[in-house]
Amino acid sequence: PVAEALDAAPLARATAVLGPEVTPLGRRVVCVPVAGLDDLAAGAIAVTARFGRPPEPRPFHGHLTLARVTRGSLRDLVGEPISARFGVRAVRLVRSRLGPQGARYDDVHVRRLR
């Protein structure tokens, strides 16, 4: 049903804009902010909100996770400039599996965007 909801949703292609620099996300995650995906994320959340747990009541913050730091400081990684753009042509429904070696992610469904 989730895949069917995504397939029926009026989702459009978007352009992801990375940067301007590597930032911390919490105390242990290093990421790159990604702008340009707010409308796409809102559309996907709207059509999938009735499945599973309710959406978290926090704003969407697009990002790409670069690293999870288990020891030491994020200081050496944060602040590096980065800039890129790319077209987003699909939304993926992903299953995450947590295990001793970390998280594993598997595509369950891919919705191509037009």
Q: Is residue 36 within 8 Å of 61, Cβ to Cβ?
A: no
Write down the pTM of the prediction.
Answer: 0.84
**What are the mean pLDDT values of the chain's consecutive 10-residue runs (114 residues total)?**
95 96 90 96 94 88 88 80 96 92 91 93
**What residue has token string 């992903």?**
94
Q: What is the per-residue pLDDT for 7?
A: 96
**How many angstroms separate the CA atoms of 8 and 47, rounded?**
9
Can you count the helices (H) and strands (E) in the chain? 2, 7
pLDDT, residue 83, reads 96
List of residues 6+ apart from 68 with CB closer than 8 A: 28, 29, 30
Specify the pLDDT at position 3.
95
